[in-house]
C-alpha cells in the first residue's frame, strides 16, 4: 500500500457535502427525494433568497442566492422549506464524528466541509479506497451525499472536490496543474471572488495560468500581499497543515437581522441594536468568551453596506456594554437613510477564564476594593480545585449543569 502514498509529503482529502441543507431535509423526509427542493428564508420577512437547492431544482435553473419569486417562476412545482439550523448543526457534528473514525487529523472549515489528512492511514487502503469508504459510510449512516478531493495539499484538495458533483471523487496532483487548473478562468479558483477577479483582470490576469506566472510587484499593487499567496496556490504551493484545533478558535460571534421593513427612525433602530446586543451576549456566554472589538454592520435600502468596528480598552461580555459600543458606532456612522439590515459582531475574542481587565485610572479604585475577594477566591481554587467556583458564563453553560 505504501506505493500509493508519497515518501515525503501528505495525502489530504477535502470532503464537501452536496447541497447540504437540502440533502439533510431529504434524509429527514424521504418523500422529498427526487423532487425539486429549495431551502430559503421567509419571503414575508424579506429573506426570500435561495440558500441551497436540490440537483433536481438546479435542472430548472434554480441557483443559490436567487430570489425566491424568481426561482418559483423557473420551477412552479418547487418545494420550499425554511432552514432548520439546529438540525443542520446536529448532522454536521455527526459527519465530523464519522470522519474522525478514519483519521485523527480532521479540520472542519464550515458546517458542511472539512479536510482529512490520511497520510498515516495506509492500513485502511489506498487514498481512493479510503475516499470511497467515507462516501459510502456517509450515505449508509446519514443518507447524505458528498464529493471528495484527493491531493497533496489543502488547496488542491479543495479544487478537486469541486470538479465532480454530486458523489464525485477526484484526484489532483501537482503534475496535473498545467493541464487541469491553468486553463480555468481566475474566478474559478478557490479564494478568488468577483472583486478580486476584476482587479486581476485589470493587470491582464484572466486565467489561473496568468496568475501562476504573474509579476509579483503587479500582484501586490493590485491586491496586496494576498496576491503572492494566490500566486503560490496557482502553482500548487500550500504548506498549511490539517489542524484539528483550528475549528475550536472562534474568530467572531455576531447576530444580525433583516428588518421586516426599511426603518429610518433612530429610536427604533437603537431598539433593534439593543436586542442584537443581548443575542451576542448570550452566544458569548454560552461559548465562554469575551470580546475586545465590537463591529456594527448597516445595510441600507439600496443594499449599500458598511461595517465599522471599535477596539475596546477592556474585554466585555455584558449586553449593556456591547450595546454602548454598538450604539456609539451606529450613531457616528449612520447617514440617516432607511436601513434594511443591522448586525453586531464581537471580534478578537478571548476565553473568559483567560481574559483580564487592563485597568484604567477610572476603574482602578473600584477594582482594588475587590482584591480581598479575589484573594479569597484564589485560595479556595488552590485548595479545592478550579471548578469550586464558576463564573456566570461557566455556570450557565449546558455542559456544566447537573441534573437534579
Give pLDDT tens digits for 176-223.
999 999 999 999 999 898 889 999 999 999 999 999 999 999 999 999
| Residue 378 pLDDT > 90 | no
Q: Could you say which DSSP state residue 246 is in?
A: G
- Identify the domain boundary among 85, 107, 139: 85
Distance CA 111, CA 113 (A): 6
Q: Are residues 255 and 339 in the same domain?
A: yes
Q: Are residues 288 and 202 in the same domain?
A: no
Q: Are residues 330 and 383 in the same domain?
A: no
Q: Are residues 332 and 266 in the same domain?
A: yes
| Residue 1 pLDDT > 50 | yes
Distance CA 247, CA 99 (A): 15
Residues 6+ apart with CB under 8 A from 170: 147, 148, 149, 150, 160, 161, 163, 164
Distance CA 289, CA 309 (A): 18
Mean pLDDT of 314-326: 93
Q: Are residues 301 and 257 in the same domain?
A: yes
- Residue 306 has, within 13 A of its CA and on its CB side, a CA count of 12
Q: What's the CATH number where 213 sits? A: 1.10.150.20
Q: Are residues 264 and 321 in the same domain?
A: yes
Window from 13-17, 65-69, 94-98 with minimum mean pLDDT: 65-69
Q: How many domains, in total, are found in the chain?
A: 4
Mean pLDDT of 293-306: 92
% of residues, the chain, pLDDT over 90 = 68
Domain-embedded: residue 140: no
Lookup result for grid cell 489561473: 208
Distance CA 155, CA 159 (A): 6
Q: Are residues 214 and 296 in the same domain?
A: no
pLDDT tens-digit readout, 340-372: 999 999 988 887 765 544 334 344 344 444 545
- Residue 176 has, within 13 A of its CA and on its CB side, a CA count of 14
Q: What is the mean pLDDT of the chain?
A: 87
Distance CA 278, CA 253 (A): 12
Distance CA 320, CA 27 (A): 42
Other CB atoms closer than 10 Å to residue 247's CB: what's the count? 14
pLDDT tens-digit readout, 114-172: 999 999 998 999 999 999 999 999 999 999 999 999 999 999 999 999 999 999 999 99
Structure confidence at residue 3 as a pLDDT band (50, 70, 90): low
Measured between its terminal Cα atoms, the distance across the chain in Å is: 54
Query: Taking Cα atoms as reference points, which of 104, 85, 118, 63 lies closest to residue 283?
Result: 85
Q: Does residue 109 contact residue 115 with C-beta atoms inside 8 Å?
A: yes
For residue 12, give the C-alpha cell: 489530504
Verify whether residue 304 is a known catalytic residue. Answer: no
Mean pLDDT of 73-99: 94
Q: Could you please report the per-residue DSSP string of 25-92? A: HHHH-GGGTTS-EEEE--GGGT--BEEEE-HHHHTTT--TT-BHHHHHHH-TT-EEE---HHHHHHHH
Q: Are residues 280 and 347 in the same domain?
A: yes
Active-site hit among 56, 70, 113, 132: 113
pLDDT tens-digit readout, 236-264: 999 999 998 876 665 789 999 999 999 99
Domain-embedded: residue 137: no
| Residue 54 pLDDT > 80 | yes
| Residue 97 pLDDT > 90 | yes
- 112 labelled binding-site residue: yes
Window from 35-44, 77-86, 270-279, 290-299 with minimum mean pLDDT: 35-44
Domain-embedded: residue 112: no
| Residue 278 pLDDT > 70 | yes
Distance CA 272, CA 8 (A): 55
For residue 36, give the C-alpha cell: 425539486
Q: Are residues 367 and 344 in the same domain?
A: no
- 176 labelled binding-site residue: no
Domain range spanning residue 369? 361-395
Q: Are residues 366 and 347 in the same domain?
A: no
Q: Could you please report the per-residue DSSP string of 274-302? A: HHHHHHHHHHHHHHTEEEEEEEEEEEETT
Query: Taking Cα atoms as reference points, which of 297, 360, 361 lies closest to residue 329?
Result: 297
Output the pLDDT for position 282: 93
Q: Does residue 242 contact residue 267 with C-beta atoms inside 8 Å?
A: no
Distance CA 93, CA 4 (A): 30
Domain-embedded: residue 41: yes
Mean pLDDT of 323-327: 96
Query: Taking Cα atoms as reference points, which of 211, 166, 173 lies closest to residue 190?
Result: 211
Amino acid at each position: 500500500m505504501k506505493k500509493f502514498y508519497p515518501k515525503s509529503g501528505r495525502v489530504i482529502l477535502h470532503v464537501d457535502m452536496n447541497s447540504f441543507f437540502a440533502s439533510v431535509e431529504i434524509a429527514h423526509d424521504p418523500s422529498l427525494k427526487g423532487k425539486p427542493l429549495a431551502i430559503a428564508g421567509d419571503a414575508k420577512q424579506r429573506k426570500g433568497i435561495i440558500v441551497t437547492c436540490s440537483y433536481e431544482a438546479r435542472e430548472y435553473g434554480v441557483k443559490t442566492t436567487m430570489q425566491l419569486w424568481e426561482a418559483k417562476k423557473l420551477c412552479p412545482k418547487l418545494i420550499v422549506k425554511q432552514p432548520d439550523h439546529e438540525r443542520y448543526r446536529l448532522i454536521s457534528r455527526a459527519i465530523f464524528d464519522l470522519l474522525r473514525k478514519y483519521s485523527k487529523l480532521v479540520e472542519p472549515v464550515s458546517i458542511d466541509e472539512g479536510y482529512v489528512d490520511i497520510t498515516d492511514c495506509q492500513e485502511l487502503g489506498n487514498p481512493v479506497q479510503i475516499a470511497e469508504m467515507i462516501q459510502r459510510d456517509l450515505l449508509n449512516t446519514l443518507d447524505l451525499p458528498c464529493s471528495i478531493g484527493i491531493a497533496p495539499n489543502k488547496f488542491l484538495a479543495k479544487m478537486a472536490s469541486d470538479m465532480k458533483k454530486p458523489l464525485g471523487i477526484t484526484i489532483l496532483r501537482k503534475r496535473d496543474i498545467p493541464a487541469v487548473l491553468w486553463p480555468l478562468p481566475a474566478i474559478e479558483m478557490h479564494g478568488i471572488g468577483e472583486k478580486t477577479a476584476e482587479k486581476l483582470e485589470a493587470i491582464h490576469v484572466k486565467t489561473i495560468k496568468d496568475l501562476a506566472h504573474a509579476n509579483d510587484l503587479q500582484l501586490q499593487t493590485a491586491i496586496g500581499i494576498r496576491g503572492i499567496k494566490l500566486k503560490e496556490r496557482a502553482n500548487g504551493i500550500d504548506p498549511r497543515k490539517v489542524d484539528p484545533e483550528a475549528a475550536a478558535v472562534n474568530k467572531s460571534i455576531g447576530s444580525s437581522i433583516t428588518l421586516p421593513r426599511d426603518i429610518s427612525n433612530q429610536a427604533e433602530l437603537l431598539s433593534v441594536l439593543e436586542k442584537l446586543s443581548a443575542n451576542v451576549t448570550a452566544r458569548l456566554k454560552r461559548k465562554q468568551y469575551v470580546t475586545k472589538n465590537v463591529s456594527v454592520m448597516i445595510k441600507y435600502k439600496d443594499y449599500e453596506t458598511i461595517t465599522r468596528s471599535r477596539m475596546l480598552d477592556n474585554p466585555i461580555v455584558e449586553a449593556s456594554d456591547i450595546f454602548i459600543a454598538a450604539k456609539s458606532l451606529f450613531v457616528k456612522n449612520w447617514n440617516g437613510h432607511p436601513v434594511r439590515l443591522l448586525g453586531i459582531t464581537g471580534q478578537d475574542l478571548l476565553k473568559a477564564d483567560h481574559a483580564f481587565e487592563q485597568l484604567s485610572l477610572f476603574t482602578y479604585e473600584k477594582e482594588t476594593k475587590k482584591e480581598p475577594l479575589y484573594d479569597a477566591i484564589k485560595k479556595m481554587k488552590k485548595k479545592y480545585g478550579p471548578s469550586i467556583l464558576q463564573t456566570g458564563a461557566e455556570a450557565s453553560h449546558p455542559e456544566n449543569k447537573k441534573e437534579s
